[in-house]
Structure 1
Amino acid sequence: RQGQRSGEFNRELSEYLLDATYPLELDMVELQRFWRLPVQYFFNRRLKVTFEPPLPILPDDEPFVLNGLESYQMRDALLNDLLVSGGNAEPIVQHFVAEQRAQGKLPVAAFGDIEFETNRVQAEQMVEALSFVCNAPSDDIEIKLSLDVLGDDKLVHLQGWLTQSYQSGLVRYRSGKIRPQDYLSAWIDHLAMSAMGVAKRTHMLGYDRKEGVIHLIYPAIEDRQFAQSLLSELVRLFYQGMTKPLAYFPKTSLAAIDAGFSRGGEWADDEEKSLKKMIDAFNDGFISQGEGNNSYIARIWPQWNDELAQEVRQLAALVIQAPRLHMREANDA
């Protein structure tokens, strides 16, 4: 794939921690933001650069259906309203649909009814699934960890709070498909909880239009040191990625690991298959854009090549392999 020139951005910067005073403090919120897309965090935080997407062209005609993002946003808003109410859904639904119509967010006439009904059914299915794991709230979990990840007693104090904690464990959900970045985000929270000595599951729930509600879990980790060592590696890479951008691309990296699964669910590293799946995820397909089209990724890595492939594979093994291999379907756990 031909990409944009990387130009002035593709250069080594001075060491991020050159004049740092120890111990360092790192908030869980910042660690999570970094891992959504490390190269974007590098541009935004280190270089103070933001690439704004082009403004969409507004259509002249009234739409017959909502696009994917609009549909997700409506479903997500309805899901949140239903979860907050916790009671009779019908008045909540009636008020919500009237509000959407008043704001011009639904297609006209019967098309709007069909569109809303689809989203209502999906939202109510999510509420039903969430009610099983969210019926007994627990206190938020405070994270206070001292990590020796930079050597020479250069401590990092990781701190923050984990919300949406229940007797069943942590619960993380979205009203659309569970994305690669969602797996990692839940895994970071899971490791932090486990490193604090709270050995519970973490639940991930999402919605797939073909399969319906998806419910995955990370099993409880009893070994605090094991959890802390895995979390420490992600913190170490955070600081590494603030000096030089990390070639960790969520979709492409997960494809590298998923390639190792057999039909029977067994996993073994398969470099040839992994490289092919990474290329498919990074480059454009016939009907879909590749991850390499992301404006932040394209500034540093305008083209896929063998050197980049090895870098992505190595980081995928360090970052997303553990959560992917620990993941279980709730029915099988």
Structure 2
Amino acid sequence: AQALCDQAARAGYAGEVSYDVWRTELLRALEPLGGAYGFLAGGVTFAALQPMRPVPARIVVLLGMNDGDYPSAPRAAGFDLTAEHPRRGDRVRRDEERYAFLEALLAAREKLYISYTGRSVRDNSPLPPSPLVSELMEAVRRGFEDGQGGDPLARLVIEHPLQAFSPRYFDGSDARLYSYQEAYASASRALGRETPPRPFVSAPLTVAADPQAAEISLERLQRFLGNPARHFLRERLGINLAYQEEAVPDTEPFVLDGLASWRLAHTTFARRLAGIDATEALRLARAEGLLPHGAMGEVEYAALSEKLEPLVEAVRAHGSLRSEAVVVDLGDCKLVGTVSGLDGELRVEWRTGPLRAVHRLETWVRHLACNAALGPRPTRLYALDGKRLYAPVEDAVEQLRALVGLLRAGEMEPLPFFPRTSGAYAEKAYTGEGDPRYAARRQWEANEYGFGESQDAWFALAFRGRDPLNEAAFEQLAIDIYFPLLEAES
């Protein structure tokens, strides 16, 4: 720009210059810089840091001076006899790189810029720079002062924010931090105006779902306990959170995912229980496409059969099991449904997978309904990872009446009850071992090892803007629902 002004002054021209002329002249002046090649060809030079190469420059920039990257770690080949038997005068790469760093410092005439990654991408913990940079910083700390008795490095070291739209780049608090990106400036302003999300439900609904309902199904009560937020959003508000279906994979699977493994286990167990031998069950599973092709499918099936066979034998030992329709009179309504697995004075259930909190709740509801309608009797629950026995319950009608009351309350507003999280709280509170709130928080919040119940889409929407674990209703609901179950379960 100054060169263009000088040209106008020499030509005696004092008029206006159009944008097109200005742009053409500017591009012409910059064009040689983009077409130069080779070392020190003018403009900005990018080069590796090597000894005996730096020459004086106005500005020297050293990038990526991270710990472990520079000086580089020795990587000698296994057949390198020089590295295996070093002698005086041999080349030492780390010493050469240290010397190259010193040369780069001496080459800087006006400014020296050194950057390194100072924070971990995993947990944001501080990371040290290269040992050479650490030595330079220590030399500055020992040899200089800032005139105010503080650390001289505070004026030299700049810690950049994690995000490019951080308000620190635009609030002027540090003149060394700035940005010319308008998009980032807009994002920073929006960040300053950010307000916490409003609660999804601020007050209970005023109209009951169906106050005159004469019958309530067992399945409805089970669905409610399995996910009260989903029941409220779907049944009362008509909200359906459709999950995005995964695309069909381009490659053949060699191992089964969780859903495919459960489908294979469920189908194979039913066939083995019906008397179909393992060989025929394998043939049918392969024909239905439930297994990976080839030997991998046989390996998957063999491993699954080994796990399922004890479960098949345990259920077979009970002989022929029957089902029966039940009706439980709760006074203002009736609970209706069907209970299966009846074996005389014993009831049997099974799961072809690990036993989870929602499975225990479903079994508990059916156990109460069976005891209320057919008389007190135990229920035995088999699963791949163990078995549970539920003792007879004398006050099953009262407990079902309490659960139906919670169902009706949960149709007016989402109740802070979560199968895994509430179960973890209740178990610690019931046994008195450990901190119930800590156990609940571990199930609620996600970590690097697993999925947290707070990530469930239904819970996230229903309890938006709230921390349900800090509400008194969370603790009371966990105790009211789980304590009777834990008392009967062994």
TM range (shorter): 0.7 to 0.9
CA–CA distance in structure 1, aligned partners of residues 209 and 321 of structure 2? 44
**Residues 185 and 306 (structure 1), Cα distance of their counterparts in 2 relative to 1, 3 Å cut:** closer
Tell me if the contact between 1:31 and 1:235 (Cα under 8 Å) persists in the aligned partners. Answer: yes
1:315 paired residue number? 477
Aligned residues: 295
The gaps in structure 1 that reach 5 residues or longer are 148-154, 209-213, 262-266, 329-333
Q: SS of the counterpart of 1:259?
A: helix
1:29 paired residue number? 219
1:116 paired residue number? 301
1:12 paired residue number? 203
Matched residue type, 2:487: L
Q: Deviation of residue 205 (structure 1)?
A: 1.0
1:299 paired residue number? 461
CA–CA distance in structure 2, aligned partners of residues 16 and 198 of structure 1? 36
1:151-162 aligned within 5 A? 155-162=332-339
1:144 paired residue number? 328
1:81 paired residue number? 271
CA–CA distance in structure 1, aligned partners of residues 413 and 387 of structure 2? 36
| TM-score (norm. length: structure 2) | 0.56
- Deviations along 1:217-264, whole A, 9 cap, x unmatched? 11123x3xx221111110100000000011111000111022246xxx
| TM-score (norm. length: structure 1) | 0.81
Q: Deviation of residue 20 (structure 1)?
A: 3.2
**Residues 16 and 207 (structure 1), Cα distance of their counterparts in 2 relative to 1, 3 Å cut:** farther
1:215 paired residue number? 387
Q: Deviation of residue 326 (structure 1)?
A: 1.6
1:39-54 aligned within 5 A? 39-54=229-244
**Residues 302 and 289 (structure 1), Cα distance of their counterparts in 2 relative to 1, 3 Å cut:** farther
2:286 paired residue number? 101
CA–CA distance in structure 1, aligned partners of residues 424 and 323 of structure 2? 36
1:244 paired residue number? 413
2:184 paired residue number? none
Q: SS of the counterpart of 2:279?
A: helix
- Deviations along 1:77-97, whole A, 9 cap, x unmatched? 1101122x2x3x42xx33332
Matching residue within 387, 399, 414 for 1:230: 399
CA–CA distance in structure 1, aligned partners of residues 383 and 366 of structure 2? 17
Q: Deviation of residue 139 (structure 1)?
A: 5.4
Deviates more, 1:119-128 or 1:248-257: 119-128
CA–CA distance in structure 2, aligned partners of residues 308 and 197 of structure 1? 40
Tell me if the contact between 2:323 and 2:339 (Cα under 8 Å) persists in the aligned partners. Answer: no
Matching residue within 354, 361, 382 for 1:205: 382
CA–CA distance in structure 2, aligned partners of residues 146 and 66 of structure 1? 45
CA–CA distance in structure 1, aligned partners of residues 300 and 456 of structure 2? 30
- Deviations along 1:269-305, whole A, 9 cap, x unmatched? x6x7111111110110112110111100000224673
CA–CA distance in structure 2, aligned partners of residues 276 and 54 of structure 1? 33
RMSD, aligned α-carbons: 2.4
- Higher relative contact order by CA 8 Å / sep ≥ 6: 1 or 2? 1
CA–CA distance in structure 1, aligned partners of residues 468 and 264 of structure 2? 42
1:152 paired residue number? none
Tell me if the contact between 2:327 and 2:334 (Cα under 8 Å) persists in the aligned partners. Answer: no
The gaps in structure 2 that reach 5 residues or longer are 1-195
1:190 paired residue number? 367
Q: SS of the counterpart of 2:411?
A: coil
**Residues 127 and 16 (structure 1), Cα distance of their counterparts in 2 relative to 1, 3 Å cut:** farther
Tell me if the contact between 1:16 and 1:239 (Cα under 8 Å) persists in the aligned partners. Answer: no
CA–CA distance in structure 1, aligned partners of residues 341 and 323 of structure 2? 9
CA–CA distance in structure 1, aligned partners of residues 472 and 310 of structure 2? 41
**Residues 144 and 136 (structure 1), Cα distance of their counterparts in 2 relative to 1, 3 Å cut:** same
Matched residue type, 2:473: E
CA–CA distance in structure 2, aligned partners of residues 146 and 177 of structure 1? 33
CA–CA distance in structure 1, aligned partners of residues 378 and 458 of structure 2? 34
Tell me if the contact between 1:6 and 1:299 (Cα under 8 Å) persists in the aligned partners. Answer: no
Q: Deviation of residue 101 (structure 1)?
A: 2.4
Q: Deviation of residue 182 (structure 1)?
A: 1.3
Q: SS of the counterpart of 2:327?
A: strand
CA–CA distance in structure 2, aligned partners of residues 41 and 130 of structure 1? 33
- Deviations along 1:187-211, whole A, 9 cap, x unmatched? 1122222222512111111112xxx
Identical columns (%): 23
**Residues 108 and 6 (structure 1), Cα distance of their counterparts in 2 relative to 1, 3 Å cut:** farther
- Deviations along 1:101-150, whole A, 9 cap, x unmatched? 23433223211111011112222221111122x31535515223133xxx
Q: For the pair shown, which has the larger CA radius of gyration, 1 or 2?
A: 2
Deviates more, 1:273-282 or 1:307-316: 307-316
**Residues 165 and 15 (structure 1), Cα distance of their counterparts in 2 relative to 1, 3 Å cut:** farther
Matched residue type, 2:383: G
CA–CA distance in structure 2, aligned partners of residues 326 and 142 of structure 1? 21
Question: After TM superposition, which residue ranges in structure 1, 4 or more long, deviate above 6 angstroms?
Answer: none
Tell me if the contact between 2:416 and 2:469 (Cα under 8 Å) persists in the aligned partners. Answer: no
Matching residue within 145, 163, 173 for 2:340: 163
Q: Deviation of residue 7 (structure 1)?
A: 5.3
